[in-house]
């Protein structure tokens, strides 16, 4: 281990744990982004916070000339589950890599930006940052994420989300039920119709839904109900037939119950991730050098793939999104939230920092290799 990482070890783990203790959801990451901005300013990077007109985004830069590597730093948590996607590890890895690279940037002739990217779990912070020019001129965009397995080349599907609102007519559920229009019935029928649609989906397509609102009292016919639906497909084009399926299911519920319905997209579409082959090769080599065993892509990857707003970036800038195992647990669970501050989670943050820094050195000077 280099002296740089030895000195960083304790503060980096402390940073990861502090982020984990104070989870903040999409677009509300005020304390998290401030903490990270201070961490990077203390280590000699030039920090703008807020950045690109987004209150919880930041931009920390080192170096003046040469290839620009953008390290994506996620720090939003999941509603009700805290850091169940381990974005405290993502953030610590990116910030640690920034701290390792900052003193080398001028000497090695490269530039690095640690980009604070809010709202990955819905909201599409990176899509907004891309639109605002945050990735302009980048030679590479990198993000290290904790997961179940080590991966140099992660698979992510395209995704789109919808809010489906049914409006009916409230009435006394016993004395005047006939004059009501039951919005909950409409939503439940639509949910079932989505279930029926699943039998016709193409390989890798997915429809999932929750029913966050469905009435308030059992003695009143509900006049308002809401489904939130997420669709996923191998490619962005594959989302169009799924949008039609959502529309049909929504209308089926509305027609059957005499309610009205509106279907509104929630946030931008996430595009499928395109991994740059050269970056994946660098990442695989460095994962192995860290004693990890990156798993080769397999035929089942698509059917268990999530989605990321880094996908949109990957269609514009060479991108890699390697994963580092923090145990045999899946993201978006309470067990994963615990793993994100376990010894394996801490190792993920430290290895992630080294991995990102080494890949960045490869991008700066492909022939010299990335050793720290
Ligand atoms: Zn997630
Ligand atoms: Zn995540």
- Helix H, strand E, coil C: the string for the chain is CCHHHHHHHHHHHHHHHHHHHCCCECCCCHHHHHHHHHHHHHCCCEEECCECCECCCEEEEECCCCCEEEEEECCCEECCCECCCCHHHHHHHHHHHHHHHHHHHHHHCCEEEEEECCCCCCCCHHHHHHHCCCCCCEEEEECCEEECCCECCCCECEEEEEEEEEECECCECCCCHHHCECHHHHHHHHHHHHHHHHHHCCCCCEEEEEEEEECCCCCECCCEEEEEEEEEECCCCCHHHHHHHHHHHHHHHHHHHCCEEEEEEEEEEECCCCCCHHHHHHHHHHHHHCCCCCCCCCCCHHHHCECCCHHHHHCCCCEECCEEECCCCCCCCHHHHHHCCCHHHHHHHHHHHHHHHHHHHHHHCCCCCCCC
267-283 pLDDT per residue, tens: 999 999 999 999 999 99
At 301, list the tokens: 């990857």
177-222 pLDDT per residue, tens: 999 999 999 999 999 999 999 999 999 999 999 999 999 999 999 9
Ligand located closest to 340 CA? 2
Ligand 2 centroid to Cα of residue 332, in Å, is: 8
Specify the pTM: 0.94
Ligand 1 centroid to Cα of residue 237, in Å, is: 22
Residue whose entry in the numeric block shows the structure tokens 């949109």? 312
**β-sheet bridge partners, residue 230:** 161, 208
Ligand 1 centroid to Cα of residue 121, in Å, is: 6
Ligand 2 centroid to Cα of residue 308, in Å, is: 8
Ligand located closest to 87 CA? 2
Report every protein residue that has its C-beta within 5 angstroms of ion ligand 2: 85
Ligand 2 centroid to Cα of residue 246, in Å, is: 25
Ligand 2 centroid to Cα of residue 240, in Å, is: 25
At 325, list the tokens: 């195992």
What angle in degrees, to the nearest 10, is found between the helix axes of 3-21 and 343-364?
Answer: 130
Ligand 2 centroid to Cα of residue 117, in Å, is: 12
Return the closest-CA partner of residue 270 out of 157, 118, 155: 157
Q: Identify the CATH number of the domain defined by range 3-156+273-364.
A: 3.40.630.10
**pLDDT computed for residue 356 by the predictor:** 98
33-78 pLDDT per residue, tens: 999 999 999 999 999 999 999 999 999 999 999 999 999 999 999 9
| Class of domain 161-269 (CATH, top level) | alpha beta
Ligand located closest to 310 CA? 2
**pLDDT computed for residue 12 by the predictor:** 98
Ligand 1 centroid to Cα of residue 160, in Å, is: 15
Q: Angle at Cα 359 formed by Cα 358 and Cα 361, nearest 5°? A: 65
Residue 183, φ and ψ in degrees, nearest 5: -70, -30
Report every protein residue that has its C-beta within 5 angstroms of ion ligand 1: 85
| Residue with the larger pLDDT of the pair 5 and 278 | 278
For the chain, the farthest-separated pair of C-alpha atoms sits apart, in whole angstroms, at 81
Ligand 1 centroid to Cα of residue 102, in Å, is: 29
Ligand located closest to 159 CA? 1
Ligand 2 centroid to Cα of residue 263, in Å, is: 26
139-170 pLDDT per residue, tens: 999 999 999 999 999 999 999 999 999 999 99
Residue 371, φ and ψ in degrees, nearest 5: -115, 135
Ligand 2 centroid to Cα of residue 145, in Å, is: 7
| Per-domain residue ranges of the chain | 3-156+273-364, 161-269
CA 228 – CA 163 distance, rounded (Å) = 5
Ligand 1 centroid to Cα of residue 180, in Å, is: 40
CA 21 – CA 247 distance, rounded (Å) = 40
């Amino acid at each position: 281990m280099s002296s740089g990482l030895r000195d960083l070890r304790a503060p980096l783990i402390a940073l990861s744990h502090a982020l984990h203790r104070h989870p903040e959801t999409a677009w509300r990451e005020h304390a998290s982004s401030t903490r990270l901005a201070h961490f990077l300013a203390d280590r000699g990077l030039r920090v703008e916070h807020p950045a690109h007109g987004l209150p919880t985004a930041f931009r920390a830069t080192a170096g003046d000339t040469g290839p620009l590597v953008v390290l994506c730093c996620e720090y939003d948590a999941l509603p009700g589950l805290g850091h169940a996607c381990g974005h405290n590890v993502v953030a610590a890895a990116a910030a640690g890599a920034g701290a390792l690279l900052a003193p080398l940037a001028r000497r090695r002739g490269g530039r690095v930006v640690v980009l604070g990217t809010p709202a990955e779990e819905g909201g599409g912070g990176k899509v907004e940052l891309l639109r605002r020019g945050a990735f302009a001129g980048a030679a590479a965009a990198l993000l290290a994420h904790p997961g179940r397995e080590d991966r140099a080349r992660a698979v992510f599907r395209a995704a789109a989300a919808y809010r489906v609102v049914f409006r009916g007519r409230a009435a006394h559920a016993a004395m005047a039920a006939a004059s009501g229009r039951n919005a909950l019935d409409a939503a439940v029928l639509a949910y079932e119709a989505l279930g029926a649609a699943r039998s016709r989906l193409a390989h890798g397509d997915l429809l999932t839904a929750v029913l966050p609102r469905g009435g308030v009292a059992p003695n009143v016919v509900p006049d308002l109900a809401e489904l939130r639906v997420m669709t996923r497909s191998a490619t962005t084009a594959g989302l169009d037939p799924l949008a039609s399926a959502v529309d049909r299911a929504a209308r089926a519920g509305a027609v059957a119950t005499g309610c009205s319905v509106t279907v509104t997209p929630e946030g931008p579409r996430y595009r499928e991730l395109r991994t740059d082959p050269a970056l994946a090769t660098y990442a695989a080599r460095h994962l192995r050098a860290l004693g990890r065993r990156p798993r080769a892509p397999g035929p089942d990857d698509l059917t268990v793939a999530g989605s990321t707003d880094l996908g949109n970036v990957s269609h514009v800038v060479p991108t890699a999104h390697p994963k580092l195992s923090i145990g045999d647990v899946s993201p978006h669970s309470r067990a994963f939230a615990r793993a994100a501050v376990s010894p394996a989670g801490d190792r993920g943050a430290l290895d992630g920092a080294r991995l990102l820094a080494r890949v960045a050195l490869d991008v700066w000077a492909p022939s010299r290799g990335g050793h720290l």
